Amino acid sequence: MTATDPALTALANGWAALSLLHGRIEAHIERALQSGHDLSVREYSLLDVLSRQHDGVGGHLRMNQVADAVVLSKSATTRLVTRLEDRGLLARYLCPTDRRGIYTDVSPAGLELLEQARPTNDAALREALDDAARNPELAPMVKAVEAADSPPVLPA
């Protein structure tokens, strides 16, 4: 394959369109969450992921699993957790069965903010997808996003 190979060009164009779609959606949601709830997309995502934890087997996520879920490095995720903890939206505590492990849970204030922000997030996502669907280059990807009916499975 050469650099001008049509297959590589198609892949590059597809990747560029996907990147554009992601950027537009994230920017639209970011503006809505910031203006309505003083939350970033990453903060909202972190609260959402952590709110889904449970006390059953495998119910609490390790920091690397959380980092994967919010698409950040482990160190950036730790800084994000600290910021939200400083705002009273998260709380950390030692794992009851392994004193080396630290769990992070969403506080009642964090759960309340998350519930207030969820409709804003959902509406902004819908608006961004509807806008992107009017672009012929992005419309097929919007259809693919809309066809996905289950959340991604996080690696163990």
CB-based contacts of 51-57 (< 8 A; 24+ apart in sequence): 51/106, 51/110, 51/111, 51/114, 53/103, 53/105
Residue 56 tokens, joined? 């059953």
Question: What pLDDT does 92 receive?
Answer: 87
Asked if the structure places residue 110 within a domain, the reply is: yes
pLDDT averaged over consecutive 10-residue blocks of the chain (156 residues)?
73 89 96 97 96 80 86 92 96 78 89 98 97 93 84 56
- For residue 116, how far is the Cα from the chain centroid? 17
Asked if the structure places residue 90 within a domain, the reply is: yes
Query: Which domain CATH number covers 109?
Result: 1.10.10.10
Asked if the structure places residue 21 within a domain, the reply is: yes
- Residue 48, classified by CB atoms within 10 Å of its CB into exposed (0-12), middle (13-18) or buried (19+), is middle
Asked if the structure places residue 154 within a domain, the reply is: no
Asked if the structure places residue 153 within a domain, the reply is: no
Q: DSSP state, 60?
A: S
Asked if the structure places residue 136 within a domain, the reply is: yes
Sign of the dihedral defined by the CA atoms of residues 68, 72, 77, 80, in that order:
negative
Question: What pLDDT does 41 receive?
Answer: 96
Asked if the structure places residue 155 within a domain, the reply is: no
Contact 142, 21 (CB under 8 A): yes
Question: What pLDDT does 155 receive?
Answer: 54
Q: What is the pTM of this model?
A: 0.84
Cα 56 from Cα 116, distance rounded (Å):
27
Cα 89 from Cα 111, distance rounded (Å):
8
Domain residues for the domain of 143 are 6-147
Cα 106 from Cα 86, distance rounded (Å):
12
Asked if the structure places residue 152 within a domain, the reply is: no
